[in-house]
A = this chain, B = another copy of it.
Amino acid sequence: MLTLSGTPFGCAQRRATGLCARCEARPFSVCASLAADDLDRLDALAERLTLQPGETLFRDGDSAGHLFNVTSGSLRTYRLMADGRRHVTGFLFAGDFIGLTGEAVHRSCAEAMEPATVCRFRKTEWRALMDARRVLETALLARAARELTAAADHALLLARKTALERVASFLRDLPGSDRLRPETPGHVRLPMTRTEIADYLGVTLETVSRSLRRLKCQGVIRQLSLTEMVVEKPAALSAIADGEV
């Protein structure tokens, strides 16, 4: 079940001694824009949620009264078509913000892939905080800008890249997403299933599997386990990803 641990007794601390002050995800969250003095205010608004693998944060059709900030672990968001076709919208890690799209009703589902923690904010309260601390709105706009850039890259991938190029792009761009993990250079951790990768890249799981094999045969990557890859030839991987082959 989804456990909920709000600020103790619901009252803000005077000094920034709350959870936000110790939050490991803060440096790469929009919260980083706030001065230390303002953290107690953030604390007062944040509800801490803990999700177990497979647990749902929200579903398609739920009214979207909240915003979320991922503080640890990872989540997937996806959309379903009427006949069951699935598109995985994205994979979310610590520091990622959910709710930039500003829709009143969720049009996608969000579930934990691994044990995850998330901060939840009421939209109205968040809006008030943004009005009081404008740097927060500026930080959110900057984040929205980055997301739009990433969306354009992903659209190019979906519109024009071959299956092999898609998988190569994925292996190249995924590392660094989870900024809480000490990044071992060349190592790619895959907390998601092949099916999820496929639904993210717009192909089938068999095609993902075959593409990975081709990359392995070419010596571009080496497989340590189902969820762990090593990039042996980063330059070659990137060249394939960009279609320069």
Contacts and interface: CB of A to CB of B under 8 A. Distances in A.
Interface of A: 79, 81-83, 85-87, 89, 100-103, 107-108, 134, 137-138, 140-142, 144-149, 151-152, 154-156, 158-161, 199-202, 242-244
Residue in A144, A147, A161 with the greatest tally of chain B CB atoms within 10 Å: A144
Contact of A158 (B81, B83, B159): B159
A243 B83 contact: yes
Nearest to A243: B81
Given A83-B244, A134-B137, 9 more contacts: A81-B160, A81-B161, A100-B148, A107-B149, A137-B137, A137-B141, A148-B151, A151-B155, A158-B158
A98 to B, nearest CB: 11
A45 to B, nearest CB: 18
A31 B200 CA distance: 36
A243 B159 CA distance: 19
B107 A152 contact: yes
A101 B149 contact: yes
A184 B215 CA distance: 52
B148 A87 contact: no
A202 B160 contact: yes
